[in-house]
Amino acid sequence: NAGVTQTPKFRVLKTGQSMTLLCAQDMNHEYMYWYRQDPGMGLRLIHYSVGEGTTAKGEVPDGYNVSRLKKQNFLLGLESAAPSQTSVYFCASSYAGLAGNEQFFGPGTRLTVL
């Protein structure tokens, strides 16, 4: 099992460019999440999905869009990148339900917007 994988691992964009980050999980998890990590601020939730075809906004959704067309994949899009979106992006997944379901994290994508 690969667990949670993220593509790409690193990317440099110019302001205004667009890109898509891909997250894939092979654990048959229902829930998937996108977080961003900025220095001194911990991880903040961007968007999440509770199942195929459903998405919802998290704490910091502005400037991002997501799609979950297949259960195993969760895509994060930046339509017009801004320097404020320079960050490390983590995807995570978990089983549905409540009790102690840890989130499994991908290795992260380091994005720099110039």
Partner 1 sequence: AQKITQTQPGMFVQEKEAVTLDCTYDTSDQSYGLFWYKQPSSGEMIFLIYQGSYDEQNATEGRYSLNFQKARKSANLVISASQLGDSAMYFCAMREDDSSYGKLTFGQGTILTVHP
Binding residues (CB under 8 A) for partner 1: these are 31, 33, 35, 40-45, 48, 50, 56, 58, 88, 90, 92, 94, 96, 98-105, 107-108
Cβ closest to partner 1, residue 63 vs residue 108: 108
To partner 1, the closest distance from the beta carbon of 75 in angstroms equals 19
- SS3 assignment, position 83: helix
CB closer to partner 1, 17 vs 94:
94
Say how far apart CA 63 and CA 80 lie, in whole Å: 8
* Shortest distance in whole angstroms from residue 20 CB to partner 1: 21
CA distance 24 to 15: 27
Give me the torsion for CA of 68, 70, 76, 78, rounded to 10°. -90
